[in-house]
Amino acid sequence: MADTPAPTLLELLLQAMESGQFRMPLAEHLGLRITHAEAGQVTVSFDPQPFHRNIMGTVHGGILCAAADAAMGLAYGTTVPAEKAFTTLELKINYMRPVFGKTVHAKGLVLHRGKTTGLMECRLIDSSHRMVAFATSTCMVIEGDAASGRHVLPHLGALPGSAES
């Protein structure tokens, strides 16, 4: 009997969209959800809650950055073979306008995918169709010892050895 190949990240994201569950603990905590996924493109959306606000009453920039990082990293991950690991090397974000309560859609897109690294962009758009932030990142495939303990888990974020994995 042949081993069943591991599902790709894209397959897992599509399952997460269908079930409505995004099993990444930080994403769940922040209220992030996958609203679009295809090879090289992932949209992560969230509805701002009171705990997302900074001292000025707007959505905290770190929340916008976390949504952008998730969208870009997952977009890159959809281009990486299931047996390989990946990580973000760097991230830059520019904030354009405050977010007071409108739904935010972080649209991650792979601009360039090389053998080991990729360049992504993310446009964060509010429910009034206005860009509130723009981000870029570089991600890379990691292998060997550097990848030890890192792999896409079938339950998207369950810890190895936990009852959820």
The amino acid sitting at 27 is A
| pLDDT of amino acid 19 | 80
The candidate with the shortest Cα–Cα distance to 17, out of 37, 31, 2, is 37
Domain-located, residue 39: yes
Mean of pLDDT values over 128-139:
98
In the chain, how many domains are there?
Answer: 1
112: CATH: 3.10.129.10
pTM comes to 0.88
Looking at residue 56, the DSSP 8-state letter turns out to be: T
| Mean of all residue pLDDT scores within the chain | 88
pLDDT tens digits, one per residue of 31-55 = 999 999 999 999 999 999 999 999 9
C-beta separation of 139 from 69 below 8 A: no
Domain-located, residue 164: no
Cα 119 to Cα 140: distance, rounded to the nearest angstrom: 9
Instruction: Write out the H or E segment, with its range, that includes residue 55.
Output: none
| pLDDT of amino acid 57 | 94
Domain that holds residue 15: 9-147
Instruction: Write out the H or E segment, with its range, that includes residue 4.
Output: none
Domain-located, residue 25: yes
Domain-located, residue 112: yes
